[in-house]
């Protein structure tokens, strides 16, 4: 079944994929692997680092219940989907082998000095490059395929994404019912489902088919705040949840919620809550 999932996924996306066990060891063929990754895994020292990255990435996703793309020791972007069958974790479907310069994607392990190898450098230059939004879309596709056959044991344990939504809370559902204009209801839904994206008035206006000036005016009338204030408010609310329920670093949370600079994320968080992310986490732990 895992092989069938991987074949469908790689045929549809052409993105590299493999299944590894709970030790990070390969348990399937290498589907659509890049020449660079074939080369890296042919060298024992690098191969062991690849196994570590596959394992750590999978465990991080399983522990946080969130699909978080990460950079491997060689600098490529991967993501992992846990395979759970009969309440037991059997391994991870790992996909990626992409190049991305997006700062929201964290390093999982210390980089290895492969750049000194001319052959490796030549192969690396041929690795496909993807935008952050494309990487997130691919992770959602793979997760959907996987959970169709291997659903988690409890509905509340469904795997989330690095593009978090806030719509699951009763208060948020109530918020939507109090919005009178359908255009603003659609705007709010779009914002909450794309918090990690580079949200701007232009991109949101295009999504809801309104002129920027008109959307800005309508939104302020309906929500009593401007669009950016609302985006920051949603991101801070989501950050509070993550800080209270995980050990994810403040830097990673900031990137996960669309802030390229940690200092700016901390500034916005304190502006809305009156305390720093570190202070908020410490208060929650107490």
The tally of CA atoms less than 13 A away on the side-chain side of residue 25 is 1
Nearest to 60 by CA among 248, 243, 251: 248
The span from the CA of 162 to the CA of 255, in Å, is 9
Structure tokens at 133: 């939004």
Percent helix, percent strand, percent coil in the chain, to nearest 5: 55, 15, 30
Q: Report angle CA 76, 79, 85 to the nearest 5 degrees.
A: 150
Contact between residue 227 and residue 201 where contact means Cβ atoms under 8 Å apart: yes
pLDDT tens-place values along the chain, 286 residues long: 898 999 999 999 999 999 998 888 889 999 999 999 999 999 888 888 898 888 888 887 877 666 778 999 999 999 999 998 877 888 999 999 999 988 778 887 788 888 888 888 899 999 999 998 899 889 889 988 888 877 653 333 444 444 333 333 434 545 666 787 888 988 998 898 888 888 889 889 888 888 899 999 999 988 889 999 999 999 999 999 999 988 889 999 998 898 989 999 999 999 999 999 999 998 888 7
- The H helix count followed by the E strand count for the chain is 13, 6
Q: What is the pTM of this model?
A: 0.55
For residue 5, count other CB atoms closer than 10 A to its CB: 20
């Amino acid at each position: 079944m895992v092989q069938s999932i991987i074949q469908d996924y790689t045929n549809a996306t052409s993105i590299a994929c493999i299944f590894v066990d709970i030790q990070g060891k390969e348990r399937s063929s290498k589907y659509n692997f890049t020449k660079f990754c074939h080369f890296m895994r042919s060298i024992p020292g690098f191969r062991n680092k690849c196994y570590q990255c596959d394992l750590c990435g999978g465990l991080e996703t399983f522990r946080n219940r969130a699909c978080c793309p990460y950079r491997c020791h060689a600098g490529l972007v991967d993501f992992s989907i846990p395979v759970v069958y009969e309440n037991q974790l059997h391994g991870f479907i790992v996909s990626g082998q992409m190049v991305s310069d997006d700062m929201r994607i964290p390093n999982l392990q210390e980089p290895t000095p492969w750049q000194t190898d001319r052959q490796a450098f030549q192969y690396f230059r041929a690795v496909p490059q993807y935008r952050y939004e494309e990487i997130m879309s691919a992770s959602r596709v793979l997760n959907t395929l996987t959970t169709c056959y291997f659903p988690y044991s409890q509905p509340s344990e469904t795997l989330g994404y690095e593009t978090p939504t806030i719509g699951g809370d009763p208060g948020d559902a109530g918020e939507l019912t109090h919005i009178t204009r359908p255009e603003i209801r659609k705007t709010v839904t779009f914002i909450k489902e794309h918090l990690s994206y580079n949200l701007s008035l232009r991109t949101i206006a295009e999504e809801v088919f309104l002129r920027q000036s008109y959307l800005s005016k309508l939104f302020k009338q309906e929500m009593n705040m401007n669009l950016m204030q609302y985006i920051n408010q949603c991101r801070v609310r989501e950050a509070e949840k993550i800080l209270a329920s995980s050990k994810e670093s403040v830097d990673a949370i900031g990137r996960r919620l669309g802030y390229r600079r940690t200092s700016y994320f901390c500034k916005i968080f304190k502006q809305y809550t009156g305390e720093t992310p570190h202070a908020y986490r410490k208060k929650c732990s107490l």
